[in-house]
Structure 1
Amino acid sequence: MTICDGEHASVCRGCHGGCAARVTVADGRVMRVRPGLGSPFNLGQMCVKGLSIPAMLSHPDRLTVPLKRVGERGSGRFAPVSWDEALGDIAARLDGFRRETGPESVALGQGTGRPHYFHVIRFANTFGTPNWYEPGLANCFIPRITVSNLTYGGFVAGDYYGDTPPRTILFWGHNPLVSGPDGELSFPVKRALAAGAFGIAVDPRRSETAKRCGLWLPIRPGTDAGLALAMIRAIIEEGWYDRDFVEQQTTGFEELRAAVDPYTPAWAEAVTGVPAAAMLEAARRYALDRPSILDWGVSLEQNPNSLQTVRAVAILRGLTGNLDVPGGDVFGHDLLGAYPVLRQELPAEALIRRIGAQQFKLLGGFRAFMPSAHIPGLFAAMRTGDPYRVRALLLFGNNPLATVADSRAVLESLNALDLLVVTDHFLTPTAALADYVLPGAMWPEIDGVIELPLVAPRGVCAHRKLVQTGQCRQIEHILNDLAARLGLAGADEPLESIFDARLRPAGVTFAELAEQGMVLAAPAYRRYLEKGFRTPSRKVELFSKPLARLGYDPLPSYREPPESPVATPEVARAFPLILTTGARRREFFHSEGRQIAFLRARRPEPLVELGPATAAQCGVADGDWARVSSPRGSIRMRVRVTPDIMEGVASIDHGWWFPERGAGDFGALESNANVLTNAGPPYDPAFGSYQLRGLLCAVEKE
C-alpha cells in the first residue's frame, strides 16, 4: 500500500480498547490524531493516550533499529545491527536450543490485548513450545471468559449500544471510565450513567466510576466471593430472582440454594466490611430494577480463589435473567472466524510438558480457552531448572520486570537466561537486560483487524498501515521472518490472507473493511429461546457438571485470602494495612507512556492512596514521600490522602519506572508495585491465579 499524506480513518490501539480515530499524515509522519466519528463504541471521543500517539511515534528515545547488547547485561549498552544479522543469529540460537534441550526450553511472552496476540501463539505452536504466556491468562480476563463459557455458553458484554438503556449498572472491581478495556469503552458507560442508570460500585476505592454511582460498596480487597455469595443468598431468600427464567433456563438452582445458605448478610459484613444494609440494597436494585448490566473487572481474578469468585459473580446474571436481554448483558455475534494459530502443529507430547498444565487444567489443559504456561512456574524454571531449564525468552510488547509479580524473582530469572529477546517501542527495564532489542511498530504503522467488544463482538473494524518509522516492523512480520528461517509451517502465509479468512463470516475482505471502516451487526436478543445456551444442558448451569468432571467444585464458595489479617494475624502485626494494586490511570497503559512529557506532567509520580485516619495512624501527610513495605520488600511512593478509599487499605499505582534516568538506571525496583506482590502458592486450583490484592503492607514516612 502506498502511504499518502492527508487524513485517514483508523482505529486506536494505544491500549486494548479500539476507538475510531482520524489520523493526519504529512511528509510521512503522523502529525495529529483526533477521535473518529460514527463509532458507537467511542461516540466521537478519545482518551489522552490515543491523542498522544504523534509524540510517541517521533519521541527521540523511540527504538527505530535492531540493537545487540555489547555490555554487561543490564548496563544498557547496545550497538545497532541489521535485521538480517539480528534475526539470523536469533534463529540460529533458537534452533540450537530446540535441538539440544527441546523446543519447550524456549518460551514466549507478550503484553495484554495486543494486535499480535494470536500470532505469538501461532509461532509457539509451530516452533513446538507449549510455553507461552500473557499476564491475563490466570489473573485477568481469561477466567471471566472461561467461567462465562462454562456457566452460560459464551462471553457477554453490557448492552450500552441498543435502544433500551440499562436501569442499573453494577460495577464490580471495574473502573471503565478510566480503563475502557476490550472495546467496552468508557464513553457509552458515561452516557448510560448520565441518562439516569443507577450505578453501584464494588471497589475499595471510590474510583472515577464510583463517584458517578448512587451506591458505593467499599470492600476489603480479596473478599469479593463473600459478597457475591451473600447477594446470591439474599436474591434467592427474598424472592428477588427471575422465577420464570430460573425454572425454564437454568439447572442446579436447589443445589445453589443449599450451598449459599451459610453466607448470611451478617457473615458477609464481618468478612468483607460492606454493611449488610448496603449489600441488600445493591442486590435488590440489581435484581429488580432491570434491565441491569454487571460490569466486572480484573480484581475478581487476582486471588487464589479466582474460579469460584468469578463463578459467584457470574451466577448473579443467571438468577436475575439479565442475560441476552435489551439493556442487560448480551452475547456477541459471529463476525470473525478463529485466528489460525495452527494448534495442530504442536506435538501431543509437548502438551504434557507445558509448565503448570497438569496442575491448572483451565489454564494449560485441554479445556483451557487459550492453553498457556503458568507464569510463576515458567519464571521459576528459568532460574532453577525445575521441572526443566527454560533457556530462552522472546518477549513481544511485555515488560515483566515491571508488570509480573515478585519483581526480584523476575529479575533473577531474566538474568539466568541464555537468550533474551525483547521487541518493544522503547528501551524498558526489561529490554535493558536483553541480548537483542527489536523495534516494534506502533498502531499507525501496522495493518490490523479488531472485534468490538472483544470476545462478545457487536462490530468489527480494520485499520491500515499509514506511516513507516525507521526500521520498525510489525510484530507478525518479525515472527514470520523468524519462522521462515526456522522452517516452520505457515511462515509464508500473508497476513492479509489471514485477515480475509477471519472476515468471511462478516462478508467482507480486509481491503473492503479497511475502506468502509466498520461492520456492525444488528442487535439480537433472547437467542436462547430458539437454540438454548451453548452449554451441555443448553441452560445456564448454576451447578457446573463440567467443573465437577475436572475435579473442581461445581458450586461457588468463599476462601479467605492466604495473606490477610484473618489468615495471617502474625504478619498483620508488622504489616497492618491491606494492600491493593493495579489502580488504572488515564495517562498510562500499564508500564507504557512515562516518556511522554504531557502525560507525565499530568501524573508525574507514583502514588499510594490512604484514607485520612489511616494516614494519621501511619504518621504521613498528603504529599509526603513514604516507604511502602510488604513481607517481600519495600518501595518508595508519594502519599495521597483522600476520603475516597476504604480506611485500613493502601492502594498503589503499578507499572512505575523512570525512563528519564537513562538505560542502566531506570529505577526498575524503586517504585514498582510488584516488588510487594507474591507469585508464590497457594494458587487457584483451576487457573493458577495468585494473590495480587488483599496482601498486607505497612506505610511509614521516608
Structure 2
Amino acid sequence: MEIKRRDFLKAGVAAGAAVALTGPLLNAFAVTKPLAGEKVSGSTDPGKWIPSTCQGCTQWCPVEFFVQNGRAVKVRGNQLSKVNNGYVCPRGHLMLQELYDPDRIKVPMKRTNPKKGRGVDPKFVPISWDEALGTLADKLIELRKNNEPHKFLFIRGRYSPKTYPLAYGTLPKIIGSPNAISHSAICAEAEKFGPFVTEGYWGYRDYDLQNMKCLVVWGCDPLSSNRNVPNTINKIGDLIDRGTLITVDPRLSAIAAKSHMWVPVKPGEDGALALAIAHVILTEGLWSKEFIGDFNDGKNQFKTGKTVDESAFAEKLSHGLVKWWNIELKDRTPEWAEKICGISKDQIIKIAKTMAAAAPQCAIWMGPGAVMSPRGAAASQAIYAINGLLGCVDVEGGVLSHHPKSPSNKLPKIDDFLDDMAKKYGKEKKIDQRGYKQFPALNPDPDKKGNFKPGTAVITNNVATGILNADPYEIKVVVSNWANFNFSCTGAERWDRAMEKVFYVHIGTNPSEAAMYADIVLPAAHHATQKLSIIDNKGNGYTHISIQQPVVGRLWEEKADETEIMYMLAQKLAEKGFPNMINYFNSFKDPETGKHPTGPEDFAEIASKIISSAVWKPKEPLKGDKLNGWEDFKAKGIYNSEPYKYKGLWEKGFPTPTKKFEFYSEGLKIGLKAHAEKYKTTIDDIVESAQYTAKGEEVFVPHYEPPKVWGDPVKYPFILVDFKSRLNREGRSQNTTWFQEFKKVDVGDESWDDVVRINPEDAKKLGIKTGDMVKLTSLTGSITVKAKLFEGVRPGTVSKCFGQGHWAYGKVATKEFNKTPRGGNNNDLMPFDVERFTGSNCRNGGFTRVKIEKV
C-alpha cells in the first residue's frame, strides 16, 4: 500500500473505515445536532458522544467518541474530566484509524511453518477460537502434569490499570508460575527512583502548572509525551507569559523551542549539572528556610570545599542535608560541572537563581531521557533532590505526588483457588533474574513505608537473557498481551532468538514483529473502543476513575484480552480437567444484582462493576463527584476526586523511614544492606556488581556517577539521542496514514520518512547534506536513514525519533511487509543494558555511541 501525500485526504478515517467495513458514509465532522437547514451527509443519525478512555500513553486520558450510525467518527477529551480539561492530544485522534485499520488481526491463526526468524513467512492459517484456546490449554495442562508450571511465562504489555489482574495476576498464579512479567521497566522505572529515595513516592508525578512560576523540563517533552500532555498543552502558554520555562535536553524539542532557556546538556552528564545547581543553591543561601531549616546562628556556612558541623544546622522537614554537603556537594562547583556537562558556569548559576527566585512555585519535571541509562538512578536522585532544596514539593505551584487515592474495590481473593502445585511452584525464582547479586532490583517494600525491598523490581528486558540461557530454568510456553518486545526493547534481536525457543501465543490488534514468531495469534479488541475495563490515574491536581467501554461493535472475531479471552481459556482448562480458574472467575458477584458470570462478556461487565462500584455505589459519601449508579457512571464515564490538598505531607510527614524529605536515604541503605546480607558481602561490593562507582556513604546521597557508554569515542564519535514521537501510541499508531503524514509535527522530522538530525558543524566535516542517505552503526547493529541538518541538536550528538523501522506491523508501517521496513529501529542500534538498582531498561542518557557513513 503506497500512499502519497497528495492522496492523504482520501486516506482518512472514512476511507479506512470503508476498507474495513461496508456501510453508510461517514461524516467525520458531524455535530450532535445539524445546523439550521443543514443535512448530515449520508446519515439520518444525529449521533452521540460516548465516553471511554484513551490508552495511548500512561496518562490514560478520559475521552469521548462521537458515534454515528454505529461508527466512531470523532474524538475529544471527556468534557467532565478535571485531569485533561476536556482536551485530548494528537495521539487520541489516531484511535479512529487504529480501530478501522484494515490490517488488524481479524481471526485466530496458527503457524504452519515451524521455522522462525526475521523475514520468514509463518504461513498462518485461520482457526477457531475453540482450537486456539484448546491448544494453549493443552500446553498449560502438560506443564502441570510434568511438574513444571513455573516454565510458563505471561508478558504484560499495555494494560488497563484496574482490570489487568484478571489476566496478569490470575493466569500465571493459578497455573503455578511466578513469571508474570510487566513491560514497566522498559518505560521509566529509573525516573521513579529519585522521588522514592527522597520523599517516599514511587510513581509518576503531577505538576501544578496553573500556579507555577518556573518550570524546568529535564529529559522529556511534556508537550509531546511523558504523560499529561493535554493538560500541559492547555496550561503552558499562561506559564510562559507569567514565568520562566527552561528545558534541559541535548535536543531542541517542541517544549525547548518554546522555552526561555534551552540547556543542551551533554547526554549522560545530567547528574553533574544537577549537583552544581544544588551547590549554587546552598552557597548562595537560596534554599527554602521554611522547608529545610537553617543554621543555628543564621549565618550561611556552606562554603566551597569546606565541611560543615552537622550540629550547626537545624533541619525541619528534611534529613541529611549537611551529610550531603560534606560527602558530595562541597566540591561540585559550576566550574567543575562545566568541564563535564558542557554547560557554562554562568548558565548554571543563572538556572539556580532563576529557580530559587520563583520557589516554591517551581518544579523540575524529570523524564526518562536523563535517567534511563546504566547508572541513571544516581542522576534521578540528584535531579529530584533540587525540588526538595527549594521547598517545591507538595505545595501550590510545585510538584504534586501524593494525591488522594482513587476509590476502587479489589477483586475477590484468589488464594482459595490455588492448589498445592500452584502454591509450590509459584515461589520459584523469576525468569528476569531479579535478586541476583548483580541485580538488586529495588522496589518499595509493601510492609515498611519508604524502605526498598531488594529482588522485587521487574527487569523486563532481561527476560530474553533468562530464556536464552535457561537461567534460572527453561521457559517453554509464553503468552503475551499487547506486547512487541522484539521491536520495543533495546538489543531487540535477543527477543527474536528467545521467541524461537518457546511455544508462543500472541494477543494483539495488529500483526507485529513479535507476532511473526508466534505459534498462535489471537485478535484483541481495540482497548478504547471495543473493550470494557476500568482505569484510574491522576493529573492537574485530581485523581480519577474512568471507564473504557465499547463505543462500537466488534468488526471481526476480536475479544477483550484481559477479560473475555481469559474467561474463555478458563472454560477450556475446565473442560480438560483443571477447573480452578473458571471456578475463581465464576465466584465473582455483580454488586447490583448479585448474579454470577455466565459467559465472557458477562464476566467482563461484572468484574468492571466490582472494581468501580466504590464510585457509583459508595458505602459512604465521596468528597469528589457524585454518581447515581452503574448506568450513570457509564453515561458520564468518569469520577473526579476532590482537589489536591497542599502541604498535607508537611503536616503529617513523608512516607520515608525518617518521615522527612531524605537527602541521605535511609530507605536505600536498608534495601542495599538486605541485599548484601543475602550474599554475605558488603554494600560496596553490591554497588560495584551493579556497575556503580560510588563507595561508602556516598552511595546514599545524590552523587555524581560517570556515565557508562557503549562504544569507543574514536571509532564511534557521536552520541545517539533517542526520543519519542508525539504520535507514538505505545507503538500501535505507525500503521495509520495520519501518523505518517503528520510525522513532521515532531520537531525536525519529515512525513512518511525517517531522519537522523545532525548538527551542521558535524555534517560539514563528514561531507553530508540534508537528504543524503546515511548509515548509522553502533557496537550492536546498523540502520540506514535520511540525514537532516538541524541546529537543534548538540554538536557531537545525533538525534533520532523512535517509532519507524517496523518490518512486520502492516502495509503502512512497512515499505514491504515482512521484508523492508520504513526507516530504522533505534533499538537495533542500542545495546541491551540495565540500570540495576531499579531494573530499568537503558535507552537514554547517552549510553550508545554511533558512527555515521554516507551511503
Please name the residue that 1:302 is paired with.
372
Q: Which amino acid is 1:428 matched to?
A: S
Structure 1 residue 201: Cα displacement = 0.6
The aligned runs of 1:448-597 (5 Å cut-off) are 448-453=533-538, 457-469=542-554, 470-477=556-563, 478-484=565-571, 485=573, 487-488=580-581, 490-492=584-586, 493=588, 494-500=606-612, 503=615, 511-520=631-640, 521-551=642-672, 553-563=699-709, 571-581=712-722, 583-597=723-737
Q: 2:540 and 2:499 mapped to 1: Cα distance?
A: 33
What is the aligned partner in structure 1 of residue 772 from structure 2? 624
SS of residue in 2 equivalent to 1:177: coil
Deviations 1:555-611 (A, max 9, x none): 1222222226xxx6xx11111001122x12222224321221232122312221111
Give the gaps of 5 or more residues in structure 1: none
Q: What is the number of equivalent residue pairs in this alignment? A: 689
Partner of 2:321: 253
Q: Does 1:687 align with 2:827?
A: no
User: How far apart, in 2, do the equivalents of 1:146 and 1:120 lie?
Assistant: 27
**Among residues 325, 334, 340, which one is paired with 2:395 in the alignment?**
325
- State the match for 2:757 in structure 1: 609
Alignment match of 2:208 (pick from 140, 157, 160): 160
Match 2:474 to one of 366, 389, 404: 389
How far did residue 698 of structure 1 move? 0.8
Aligned partner of 1:293 in structure 2 is 363
Please report how far the alpha carbon of residue 326 of structure 1 lies from its aligned counterpart in structure 2 after TM superposition. Answer: 0.9
Matched residues in 1 for 2:153 and 2:614: separation?
Answer: 27
CA contact (8 A) 2:534 2:608 kept: no
Q: CA RMSD in A?
A: 3.0
- 2:71 maps to which residue? 29
Counterpart among 239, 254, 259 of residue 193 in structure 1: 239
Out of 336, 348, 352, the residue aligned to residue 279 of structure 1 is 348
- 2:22 match: none
Q: Which residue of 1 aligns with 2:309?
A: none
Contact 2:505–2:522 (8 Å) recurs in 1: yes
Give the distance between the partners of 1:141 and 1:623, measured in 2 at CA.
34
What SS does the aligned partner of 2:714 have?
Answer: helix
Partner in structure 2 of residue 353 of structure 1: 429
Picking from 469, 487, 491, the partner of 1:402 is: 487
C-alpha distance 342-655 of structure 1, shift in aligned 2 (>3 A): farther
**One-letter code aligned to 1:121:** Y
CA deviation digits over 1:139-198, x for unaligned, max 9? 53333335423421335634436xx62000010111011115167743244344344331
In structure 2, the CA distance between the partners of 1:381 and 1:365, relative to structure 1 (3 Å rule), is farther
Unaligned runs of 5+ in 2: 1-45, 293-314, 446-451, 589-605, 673-686, 688-698, 744-751
Contact 2:376 / 2:845 at 8 angstroms: preserved in 1?
A: no
Conserved? CA contact 1:305–1:689, under 8 Å = no
Look up the SS of the partner of 1:700 in the other structure.
Answer: strand
Distance 2:173 2:228 in 1: 25
Indicate the larger mover: 46-55 or 537-546: 46-55
Write the distance in 1 (CA, Å) between the matches of 2:424 and 2:241.
54
Deviates more, 1:607-616 or 1:21-30: 21-30
Could you say if the C-alpha distance between residues 539 and 680 of structure 1 is closer, same or farther in structure 2, counting changes exceeding 3 Å?
closer
Matched residue, 1:634: 782
TM-score using structure 2 length: 0.75
Opposite residue 331 of structure 2, the aligned amino acid is P
Contact 1:407-1:669 at 8 Å conserved across structures: no
Which one is further off, 361-370 or 379-388? 361-370
Q: Over residues 395-422 of structure 1, what are the superposed CA-to-partner deviations in whole Å (9 max), with x where a residue is unaligned?
A: 21111111101122221111122x1111
Q: Is the 8 A contact 2:169 2:180 kept in 1?
A: no
Deviation at 1:99, TM superposition (A): 4.1
1:648–1:25 Cα change, 3 Å: same
Helix, strand or coil: the match of 1:578? strand
**SS of corresponding position for 2:800:** strand
Change (3 A) 1:518 1:654: same
CA displacement at 1:30 relative to structure 2 = 1.6
Is 1:425–2:509 an aligned residue pair? Answer: yes
What amino acid does structure 2 have at the position aligned with 1:530?
A: E
Cα distance, 1:59 vs structure 2: 1.8
Q: Residues 134 and 185 of structure 1: is their aligned pair in 2 closer, same or farther, counting only changes over 3 Å?
A: farther
Summarize the alignment of residues 2-41 of structure 1 with structure 2, pairs less than 5 Å apart. 6-41=48-83
* Greater alpha carbon shift after TM alignment, 17-26 vs 623-632: 17-26
Q: Which of the residues 259, 264, 275 maps onto 1:218?
A: 264
Alignment match, 1:206: 252
Distance 1:109 1:10, change over 3 A: same
Q: Normalization by structure 1: what TM-score?
A: 0.90
Q: 1:260 to 1:97 in 2, by over 3 A?
A: farther
Q: Is the 8 A contact 2:176 2:424 kept in 1?
A: no
Aligned AA (2:638): M
Larger radius of gyration: 2
Partner SS for 1:420: strand
Percent identity between the two aligned chains: 22
2:196 corresponds to: 149
Give the secondary structure class of the aligned counterpart of 1:627: strand
**Distance in 2 (alpha carbons) for counterparts of 1:513 and 1:350:** 37
2:406 maps to: 335
Which is worse superposed, 603-612 or 149-158?
149-158
Counterparts in 2 of 1:83 and 1:578: CA distance versus 1, 3 Å: same
Pair 472,512 (structure 1): closer, same or farther in 2 beyond 3 Å: same
Task: Quote how far apart the aligned CAs of 1:329 are.
Answer: 0.9
Question: Cα 1:35–1:156, aligned 2, differ >3 Å: closer, same or farther?
Answer: closer
**Could you tell me whether the CA contact under 8 Å between 1:206 and 1:645 is conserved in 2?**
yes
The one-letter amino acid paired with 2:380 is: V
* Residue matched to 2:307: none
Asked if 1 retains the 8 angstrom alpha-carbon contact of 2:409 and 2:611, the reply is no
Q: Deviations over 1:3-24 (max 9, x none)?
A: x963323332233333443312
Hey, what's the Cα distance between the residues in 2 that align with 1:273 and 1:230?
A: 12
Matched, 1:43 2:85: yes
**In 2, Cα distance between equivalents of 1:386 and 1:219:** 39
For 1:299, the aligned partner's letter is: G
Q: Does the aligned pair in 2 maintain the 1:104–1:350 contact within 8 Å?
A: yes
CA shift, 1:670, in A, is 6.6
Secondary structure of the equivalent of 1:7? strand
Q: Displacement, 1:439?
A: 1.1
- Structure 1 pair 593–512 and aligned structure 2 pair: CA distance change class (3 A): same
